[in-house]
Amino acid sequence: MSMMLAVLPGCQLLNLDTTYEAHYKKAEYQIKEKTISDRWKSKASQVGVVSKKEADHIIYNNVKEALLVNNTTNKVLVSQHVFDKAYPASTTKTMTALLTLEHLKLNDVVTIKHDITFKDSAAVALHLKKGDKITVESLLNGLIIMSANDAAVALAEAVGGSVKNFVSMMNERAKELGATHTHFANPNGLHLNNHYTTAYDLYLIFKELTKHNEYFNIAGKANSYIEYKDAKGKMKTYDMAATNEYLTGDFNLPHQVFMIGGKTGTTTQAGSCLIILTKNKNGEEFISVMLKAQGKPALYNSMTDMLTNENKK
């Protein structure tokens, strides 16, 4: 007859019942499989799911990847090669913003540790210098609206202590969100061969960002004005215009589709990229992603065409 032994706190179990041990070994795989399946079923109920077969369609010839998900119902309306490797350019800054909002307060003051410069003189920047004192909110304005690359570096150092540590945080957070085909190498998206993602991974990251109204309070603006102090205490100002050309009026959204906010990205290797949150006439929210469009007209015209699906029954 088998015996079950009670285990007191601090004691070791020396003679495990053989019947139970045999049962556990036999059932261990099924137990783990059920636990994992339930976990992923729960996760899948909270996000839009795309099968590999559904993602193989080509709908927009001038865009590499395209995705449209109803963020209210999690229904996927459009998917085009959403699992293919792509360079994200400045859509990277959605992850930088997410980590910033998870770790810092808007009114926190950041002291710039060093002059922030880039090898590419054309890289968009606020031209932050050592000793500048600037709030997190102002840095986020620079990051989101004008896509300032030095704002990304400043926030990375404020959150992670160093860019290297922050990049590790970016990759860890991506994995936590299920963005397993993403590898970040910097906080701004300036091109590096080992810095890549997919449209579906960007959607997962951006969906998490939609929990933070602070982001969209900034991302929905066509322009912004910030002030900060240099090392000598002198006030400096910066006027900036949005890179999102729906906000600036260069391109128009479809009838009864309304912009909430998003993030642009452009490099030679990445092409023109855009991820946005919009809502339709019924108030339902949608996340849309387009990567590697062949220029801005191709990007915005294709995006506008895709967004017409928001109000289709």
Active site residue 45: no
For residue 14, the 8-state DSSP code is -
Which residues lie across from 65 on neighbouring strands?
A: 291
Specify whether the CB–CB gap between 54 and 67 falls below 8 A: no
Active site residue 302: no
Token digits for 146?
């004008």
Quick one: how far is CA 80 from the chain centroid? 19
Residue appearing with tokens 């770790």:
103
Task: Phi first, then psi: give them for residue 77, nearest 5 degrees.
Answer: -100, -35
- DSSP letter string, 29-64: HHHHHHHHHHHHHHHHTTS----TTGGG----TTEE
Residue appearing with tokens 């963005």:
179
| Catalytic residue of the set 64, 79, 93, 288 | 93
Distance CA 23, CA 152 (A): 54
Active site residue 288: no
91 contacts: CB under 8 Å, gap ≥ 6:
189, 197, 202, 263, 264, 265, 273, 274, 275, 291
Q: Which residues of 47-67 are buried (b: 16+ CB within 10 A; e: fewer)?
A: bbebeeeebeeeebebbbbbb
Distance CA 140, CA 17 (A): 59
| Catalytic residue of the set 64, 79, 90, 302 | 90
| Catalytic residue of the set 64, 79, 138, 147 | 147
Look at residues 244, 223, 199, 208 and name the one whose alpha carbon lies nearest to residue 64: 199
Looking at the annotation, which residues are catalytic? 90, 93, 147
